């Protein structure tokens, strides 16, 4: 175990898991659900549950497959990064499993959905975007933020530069947008679809 | 990639690192039905197991390194065969410490003994003196 691994193990050992886990679980739940938005379907991107996703991220830290630079990100941020990456892999695996009989087909090839499937997905995506638009219509900051995002500005600093705002204003607007989405259409935007769903 | 897909991907990424409050996180966790205390205990147990495996791996590594070092030293000892003069010097120093009455006759013919016989005589003298290896 080198010093980086040693640092990570020490941080994992000393972490206040009771405090950190709710944030990681909520992040994993949001991430999984939002991966479904892109497919226009309100479904999990893969068979891995929220709890499994967090546990797998921690196992990757323990088995040394992930290395942590403690000077650039704290432990929670590092774990969120692993969760994010795992959720993306799950989505790819899920799509591939639905598309090909053999799951060892490499490299990954984007699936060709049937015309009907794609039409349903497109309708779902329009519905989600329509709901977001409704949430931002009556607020100038939220509307501006939304348009900047649709223009491809995804990072806080990029959005700030595009809108001529400072980054704190962007953060405040993003928090407001996220909360408003959940409040206005929880069935579509809450991190969890149903109570007690997909817990391993 | 369709426009809607691209826009939703952008929205997903833009909202990815939005901070959430502890209250929001707790509400989500409660909705998920996860027993946080149990999960935390399970994680600590996994970390302890990993620590134990790591300790065992290090002990095993040290044990192997020690065994390899012993083997290396032993091999060097075997390979570093003393010269005849060195053997004779050792023999003389040993026989000088043994009481004359305890030394059998054949010990005195050491100069005509072969290298192997001389090594055997040295072992016998060491045994006599209680200096066996």
Give the pLDDT score at B75. Answer: 84
Distance from CA of B49 to the nearest CA of A (A): 10
User: In angstroms, what is the C-alpha Rg of chain B?
Assistant: 38
At residue B96, does pLDDT exceed 90? Answer: no
Residue A5 CB-half CA count within 13 A = 14
Residues B72 and B90 reside in one and the same domain: no
**Both B54 and B67 in a single domain?**
yes
Say which range, A2-11, B50-59, B122-131, has the weakest mean pLDDT.
Answer: A2-11
Q: Is residue B103 part of a domain?
A: yes
Residues B75 and B86 in one domain: no
* Total domain count, chain B: 2
Same domain, B49 and B59: yes
Q: What is the pLDDT of residues B43-75, one digit of tens each?
A: 999 999 999 999 999 999 999 999 999 999 888
Structural domain harbouring B111? 82-133
Within a domain: B104: yes
Q: Is residue B98 domain-shared with residue B65, that is, in the same domain?
A: no
Q: Is A193 on the interface with B (CB under 8 A)?
A: no
Distance CA B91, CA A71 (A): 67
- CA A106 and chain centroid, separation: 25
Q: Which of residues 130-159 of A touch B (CB under 8 A)?
A: 132, 149-150, 152-156, 159
**Is A40 in contact with B4 (Cβ distance < 8 A)?**
yes
For chain B, percent of residues with pLDDT exceeding 90: 48
Provide the whole-model pTM: 0.72
**Structural domain includes residue B106:** yes
Q: Is residue B101 part of a domain?
A: yes
Residues in A closer than 8 angstroms to B42, CB to CB, are 55
Say yes or no: B46 and B66 in one domain: yes
Asked if A110 reaches chain B (Cβ–Cβ under 8 Å), the answer is no
Same domain, B76 and B118: no
Both B28 and B57 in a single domain? yes
Task: Tell me: do B45 and B72 sit in the same domain.
Answer: yes
In the block, tokens 């016998």 appear at B124
Q: What is the pLDDT of residues A162-177, one digit of tens each?
A: 999 999 999 999 999 9
Res A199 pLDDT > 60: no
Q: Does residue B31 sit in the same domain as residue B70?
A: yes
DSSP secondary structure code for residue A190 in this structure: S
How many Å apart are CA A24 and CA B20, to the nearest integer?
11
Residues of A in contact with B4 (CB under 8 A): 40, 122, 125-126, 129
pLDDT digits (tens, 9 = 90+) for A96-138: 665 554 444 455 555 556 788 888 888 989 999 999 999 999 9
- DSSP category for residue B81: P
Quickly count: other Cβ atoms within 10 Å of residue A40's Cβ.
25
A32 touches chain B (CB under 8 A): no
Q: What is residue B80's predicted lDDT score, i.e. its pLDDT? A: 77
Asked if residues B85 and A43 have their Cβ atoms less than 8 Å apart, the reply is no
Taking the Cβ of residue A21 and every Cβ of chain B, the question of whether any pair is shorter than 8 Å is answered with yes
In whole angstroms, what separates CA A74 from the centre of its chain? 18
Residues B32 and B76 in one domain: yes
Examine the domain organization and report whether B130 and B86 are in the same domain.
yes
B89 vs A191 pLDDT, higher one: B89
Chain B interface, best mutation among A42, A130, A191, A199, by max B CB count within 10 A: A191
Q: Which of these, A31, A128, A139, lies nearest to A79 by C-alpha position?
A: A31
């Amino acid at each position: 175990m080198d010093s980086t691994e040693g640092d990570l193990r020490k941080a994992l050992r000393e972490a206040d898991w009771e405090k950190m886990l709710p944030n990681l679980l909520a992040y994993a739940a949001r991430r999984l659900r939002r991966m479904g938005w892109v497919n226009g379907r309100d479904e999990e991107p893969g068979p891995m549950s929220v709890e499994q996703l967090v546990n797998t991220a921690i196992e990757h830290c323990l088995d040394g497959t992930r290395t942590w630079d403690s000077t650039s990100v704290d432990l929670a941020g590092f774990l969120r990064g692993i969760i994010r990456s795992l959720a993306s892999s799950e989505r790819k695996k899920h799509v591939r499993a639905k598309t090909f009989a053999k799951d060892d087909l490499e490299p990954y090839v984007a699936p060709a959905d049937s015309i009907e499937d794609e039409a349903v997905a497109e309708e779902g995506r329009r519905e989600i975007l329509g709901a977001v638009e409704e949430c931002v219509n009556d607020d100038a900051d939220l509307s501006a933020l939304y348009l900047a995002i649709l223009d491809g500005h995804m990072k806080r600093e990029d959005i700030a530069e595009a809108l001529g705002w400072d980054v704190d204003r962007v953060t405040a607007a993003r928090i407001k947008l996220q909360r408003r989405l959940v409040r206005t259409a929880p069935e579509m935007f809450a991190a969890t679809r149903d109570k007690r769903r997909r817990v391993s | 990639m369709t426009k809607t897909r691209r826009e939703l991907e952008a929205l997903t990424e833009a909202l990815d690192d939005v901070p959430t409050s502890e209250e929001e996180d707790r509400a989500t966790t409660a909705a998920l039905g996860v027993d946080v205390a149990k999960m935390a205990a399970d994680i600590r147990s996994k970390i302890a197991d990993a620590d134990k495996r790591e300790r065992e791996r290090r002990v095993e590594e040290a044990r192997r390194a020690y065994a390899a070092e012993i083997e290396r030293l032993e091999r060097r000892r075997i390979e570093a065969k003393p010269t005849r003069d060195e053997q004779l010097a050792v023999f003389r120093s040993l026989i000088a410490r043994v009481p004359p009455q305890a030394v059998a006759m054949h010990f005195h013919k050491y100069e005509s003994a072969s290298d192997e016989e001389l090594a055997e005589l040295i072992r016998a003298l060491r045994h006599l003196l209680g200096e066996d290896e």
